[in-house]
Amino acid sequence: FGGMENPRLTFLTPTVIAGDRSLVSLIAHELAHSWSGNLVTNSDWNHFWLNEGFTSYVENRLVEALFGSRQADMERVLSERSLALELPELAPADQLLVLDLADRDPDDGMNAVAYDKGHWLLRTMEQRYGRPAFDTFLRGWFDRGAFASASTEDFLQYWRQTLLRERPDRFSEAEMQQWLHQPGVPAHAQSAQSAAFDAVDAARAAWLQDPTTTLPTGDWSTHEWLRFLDGLPDDLPNARMAELDQAFGLSGHGNAEIAFQWYVKAIRSGYVAARPSLADFLQRIGRRKFVLPLYQELAKRGGDDLVFARSTYATARAHYHPITRSSVDPVLN
């Protein structure tokens, strides 16, 4: 996992050490758990979103306060993109914020929905009510529920007594129920926008159309690199992949987030030159967020890719956390 919010002793994965402090939002996330999760705690795992949705929202507010709205906007776009990619892989019942985990493993509810959809709901409420009113609501939630457990019904009762009563025209009961109890994301949800990402998209399009175009990567942040790589076609010719690799050292990149996104594209495009670095990454990194999707991508392609995946996993498996092993084992049979 990325981190664990033990009070006053946060555990963090080494993969957040990128050398440029670009991944410190994870630290903000774990610190935010001092309020959402550790001060006010979900009463059971059906209400996991009360821990993680609130924490993801506070994390983004901290990023905005520390680094500005430009970075916060980019991280919100990436969050929504992550959710959009995961939703089609989930059963409708697992796309709800309020889950029914009766007779199920609570781990089944630990997906992007609690984090990203929960964050999106709270951001929508902030947009509808205005930040000052929503901040008052948020402080009240933590004050009234301090050192206690809470359910979604507790959240709804507090919302009905405060914001809904004071501003009934801003966010309806029907809309709230849709966010909580319907799969997917409501059609009225306002997507995050990033001018920085618009510029990255334009640069990528120009480079794909004209190989002589110079990419303006000099001051790109980690988030801009992630946007660039995510938008590359999955069938990019090996010559173009090699051009990027040689110019920017993407195979073996020291930033785990960038390396992961690059390896996904390398697998999908059949860029086997990245395999030695990919094998090293899988044998050195144990974070399930990275290793599970990479093994899944290799398994999808089958053939030599599956042989490579099984060989690499045989070497790396003993070093993985048991939860990671239990996730990867069925992927590779």
Catalytic residues: 30, 115
Residue 101 to residue 169: CA distance in whole angstroms? 34
Q: Strand 40-42 relative to strand 148-150: parallel, antiparallel, unpaired?
A: parallel
Q: For tokens 């059963």, what's the residue? A: 91
Distance CA 73, CA 82 (A): 14
Q: Are 297 and 304 in contact (CB under 8 A)?
A: no
What residues does 42 pair with on adjacent strands? 150
- Asked if residues 140 and 158 have their Cβ atoms less than 8 Å apart, the reply is yes
Residue carrying the six token digits 């010559």: 239
Cα-Cα-Cα-Cα dihedral sign, residues 54, 59, 64, 70: negative
User: In this structure, what token pair is assigned to residue 23?
Assistant: 């991944």
| DSSP letter assigned to residue 108 | G
In terms of residues, how long is the chain?
A: 333
Q: Which two tokens stand for residue 48?
A: 């996991």
Nearest alpha carbon to residue 176 among 213, 211, 132, 125: 125
For CA atoms 295, 301, 303, 304, the dihedral sign is negative
CA distances (Å), origin 216, targets 166, 241, 280: 49, 17, 29
- In the structure encoding, which two tokens stand for residue 69, read together? 């709205």
DSSP, res 35: T
Tell me 190's DSSP state.
P
Distance separating alpha carbons of residues 95 and 106, to the nearest angstrom: 14
